[in-house]
Amino acid sequence: MTTVRHPVATASDDVAGRRLAEEGAPRTPSAGRSPVRRRRENWRIRGELAILLGPALVVFVSFVILPVVLAAYYGFYKWSGFGTPVDFVGLRNYVTILTDPAFHEALGHNAFIVIGSLVLQGPLALGLSLLLNRKMRAQSLIRVLIFVPYVISEVVVGLGWGLMLQSGGALNGLLEKIGLGALRADWISDPALAIWTLLIIITWKYIGFAVILFLAGLQGIPEELSEAAAIDGASYWQIQRHIVLPLMGPTIRIWAFLSIIGSLQLFDLVWIIWGQYVASTAGTSTMATYMVANGRNAGSYGYGSAVAVVMFLISLAVALIYQRFVLRRDTAGALTGGTK
């Protein structure tokens, strides 16, 4: 790090500049100038901020924030979507949602998938990334191949798996061929099995993403640490447990956050494979499929908006709790493998 200092830089610059905390943006070199110049400087800063931040903010607020506010507004009405809402019903939609057993079921399914994804994908991806984090031929090829399911659209995944898992489909056919015909099952419509099927498909699709993320995190851990510990007599597993895992902490926590949010929003896969009706009987409905089935497809746009708001509040609560208790240690942001 260069030690040449600009004459007007203040002493606190170095320290302040290294942390991306709420207050710690690098101080601009204008500190210490005359009041008039500082005012002009402030306006310039504001102008620059407007140019830099403006477009993104405008687009974001108009197309993300505004719809959510509108959703909250429509949620207070009973509305069939034509014209403007006129039938004010207050909190009745929300009461209906919170007392509807079908919604409770959907919520339960979401929770199952959140936890199931974390439990299934986390250790698996960690193990895989540890195994793959070594120089070998075809490392690049393997990384590409693992990531393939993530790149394919959920529509394709849903269609393909849906065909494979039918009663007369490829999976059952294969089981029969290799003599495990007794394991034939109705993978899609059996309520006892369907949600596990969904979990497996989700794992298949998103494990590549987790592995790639973890691989990137592992590569940020200096080899010297492991080597030094090995020299000191630590076994392979001790090294992983005491050095690698803790240093992977931030990466794992970020991945978990993205996984939880994704699981709460699950829609495409379920809709394509199960459709809106079977999803509830097979036990794979999610809050999102509930929303579309009871909102848009039933012509109840007010109700659908209310469901959307409830979904948002649940996601927000989960995110806030997660940020407060888990991400607190990390700096605000993603994918930081360590501090500088």
Q: Which of residues 2-41 bind another protein (CB under 8 A)?
A: 2, 4, 6, 9, 13-14, 17, 20, 22-23, 25-29
126 near another protein, rule: CB under 8 A: no
Q: Are 121 and 201 in contact (CB under 8 A)?
A: no
- CA-to-CA distance for 72 and 302, rounded, in angstroms? 9
Closest CB to another protein among residues 23, 329? 23
Residues 62-91 that bind another protein (CB under 8 A): 62-68, 70-71, 74, 78, 80-83
Q: Could you say whether residue 334 binds another protein (CB under 8 A)? A: yes
Beta bridge mates, 77: 88
State the Cα–Cα distance between residues 103 and 51, nearest whole angstrom. 44
Q: Counting contacts by CB under 8 A, is residue 295 touching another protein?
A: yes
Residues 6+ apart with CB under 8 A from 289: 106, 267, 270, 271, 274, 276, 279
Among 12, 59, 115, 241, indicate the residue that binds another protein (CB under 8 A).
Answer: 59
How many Å apart are CA 226 and CA 234, to the nearest integer?
Answer: 9
The number of residues that bind another protein (CB under 8 A) is: 153
Provide, rounded to whole angstroms, the least separation between the CB of residue 108 and another protein.
14
Q: Of 147, 196, 249, 253, which one interacts with another protein (CB under 8 A)?
A: 147
Q: What is the 3-state secondary structure (H, E, C) of 201-235?
A: HHHHHHHHHHHHHHHHHHHCCCHHHHHHHHHCCCC
- Say whether residue 272 binds another protein (CB under 8 A): yes
* 183: DSSP letter: G
Q: Pick from 262, 251, 246, 244: which is nearest to 211 by CA? A: 251
> What is the smallest separation between the CB atom of 35 and another protein, expressed in angstroms?
18
Task: Count the Cβ atoms, other than its own, within 10 Å of residue 159.
Answer: 13
In the complex, least distance from residue 234 CB atom to another protein, rounded to whole angstroms: 9
Residue 256 as a binder of another protein (CB under 8 A): the answer is no
Give me the least distance between CB of 17 and another protein, in Å please.
4
In this structure, which amino acid lies at residue 144? Answer: V
Q: Is 322 in the site for another protein (CB under 8 A)?
A: no
**Pick from 70, 66, 104, 73: nearest CA to 90:** 73
> How many Cα atoms are found within 13 Å in the side-chain-facing hemisphere of 134?
7
**301 is an interface residue for another protein by CB under 8 A:** yes
Handedness of CA 147, 236, 116, 163 (dihedral sign): positive
Q: Which is nearer to another protein, 35 or 340 (CB)?
A: 340
Q: According to CB under 8 A, which residues from 153 to 182 bind another protein? A: 153-157, 159-161, 163-164, 166-174, 177
Q: How far is the CB of 79 from another protein (least distance, A)?
A: 10
Asked if 329 touches another protein (CB under 8 A), the answer is no
Is 196 near another protein (CB under 8 A)?
no
- With respect to another protein, which residue has the nearer C-beta, 144 or 245? 144
Is residue 133 classed exposed, middle or buried when 0-12, 13-18 and 19+ CB atoms within 10 A define those classes? middle
Contact residue for another protein among 186, 193, 196, 326 (CB under 8 A): 186
By the rule CB under 8 A, 128 interacts with another protein: yes
The residue among 116 and 154 lying less far from another protein, judged by its C-beta, is 154
Judged by CB, which is closer to another protein: 9, or 118?
Answer: 9
**Binding to another protein (CB under 8 A): which residues in 208-237?**
208, 212-213, 215-217, 219-220, 222, 224-228, 230-231, 236
Among 91, 98, 115, 152, binds another protein (CB under 8 A): 152
SS3 145: helix
Cα separation, 146 vs 215, whole angstroms: 12
